[in-house]
Amino acid sequence: MSVLNYLTNTAAALVLSSSEKSSIDTSISTLKTRLNSWFEDNIKEQIRFGSSTRGTILPRNADRKSDIDYMIVFDNTNDYKPYTFVERLKKFAENYYSTSEIHQSHPTVVLILNHIQFDLVPAYKSSGFLNTLYIPGPSSGFVNWISTDPNGFNQRLSDKNNSNNSLIKPMIRLIKYWNACNDYVYNSYELEQKLVDNSYWFCSNLKEYFFSAVNNLGTWSLSQVKSERVQRAKDIVAKVKELEENNMPDKAEAEQQKLIPLL
């Protein structure tokens, strides 16, 4: 098998199976019903967002932190701070999911089910013409609200994927798998944004896109350990290219597996 075939097959294996998608859809339907029952008219909207809506989410066997981002838009007429709604979501989860693992991870309530993890994110929408969405803001330690567009990145990724022979999404899944295998060198969402912002001149297949993405990984602000993991990835890519140029496809694939292990 060539390196290209290996990467193509691995990228395909990193797509959620139909059974996983079905289980997630069932859990979301149940979650939506329970939220409406518990909070009644205090909930204005429920929004699924994040990698699961972009087609870049990984299966749990490839990424233990794989999750579904789920926003609960509350009525905030009384101008409560985020903590109030985080506490309410935690009580909700403890009531309906008492046998599941639940913990608070600002600014979300994390609900871990057998097949997937949910990040429940409180939000509210401003009144008036703009109807701006607000979520807990990291710059304030999640004490105050910050405006957001939860699915704004989706269109940008989709456009980039469409203009690059539909190879951006599989490339992102491969890079995210490498990231998970290396104890999360990068924040997943920020990594996706960086990969979409990159240029992929003269790339025509998944291997070339993947190699280009690896070589463009930055190390600014990373710890020494994380920087070394990035450099190791770049060294492996260089070695794979060398082996392929010397017509040693088997050794090239074996070298590639050091970077992207078999699932």
**The one-letter amino acid at 39:** F
The verdict on 132 and 220 lying in the same domain is: no
The verdict on residue 262 lying in a domain is no
Instruction: Record the tokens describing residue 135, joined without a space.
Output: 């979520």
Measured distance CA(124)–CA(75) in Å, rounded: 6
Q: Output the CA–CA distances (angstroms, integers) from residue 249 to 4, 72, 127, 205, in the order listed.
A: 10, 50, 61, 17
The verdict on 174 and 77 lying in the same domain is: no
The verdict on 56 and 134 lying in the same domain is: yes
- Cβ atoms of residues 173 and 8 within 8 Å: no
Measured distance CA(125)–CA(77) in Å, rounded: 10
The verdict on residue 261 lying in a domain is no
The verdict on 120 and 182 lying in the same domain is: no
Give the predicted TM-score (pTM) of the model: 0.94
Q: Final residue of a domain: which of 151, 186, 210? A: 151
Tell me which residues of the chain have a pLDDT lower than 50: none
Residue 102's pLDDT is 84
Q: Give the count of domains, the chain.
A: 2
Measured distance CA(209)–CA(261) in Å, rounded: 18
Residue 36's pLDDT is 97
Residue 141's pLDDT is 72
Q: Final residue of a domain: which of 123, 151, 179? A: 151
Residue 83's pLDDT is 92
Residue 114's pLDDT is 73
Residue 140's pLDDT is 67
The verdict on 143 and 22 lying in the same domain is: yes
DSSP 59: -
Residue 108's pLDDT is 87
Q: What residue numbers bound the domain in which 50 lies?
A: 18-151
As separate numbers, helices (DSSP H) first and strands (DSSP E) second, the chain gives: 10, 7
Residues in the chain: 263
pLDDT digit string, tens, across residues 54-112: 999 999 999 999 999 999 999 999 999 999 999 999 999 999 998 888 877 767 899 98
First-last CA distance in the chain: 16
The verdict on residue 225 lying in a domain is yes
Residue 113's pLDDT is 83
The verdict on residue 32 lying in a domain is yes
Measured distance CA(44)–CA(72) in Å, rounded: 8
* Sequential DSSP letters for 104-151: EETTEEEEE-SS-EEEEEEEEE-SSSS--EEEE-GGGTTSSEEEE-TT
The verdict on 127 and 192 lying in the same domain is: no
The verdict on 76 and 177 lying in the same domain is: no
CB half-sphere exposure, 260, CA atoms < 13 A: 28
Contacts of 200 (CB under 8 A, 6+ apart): 164, 208, 209, 212, 213
Phi, psi of 6, deg, nearest 5: -60, -45
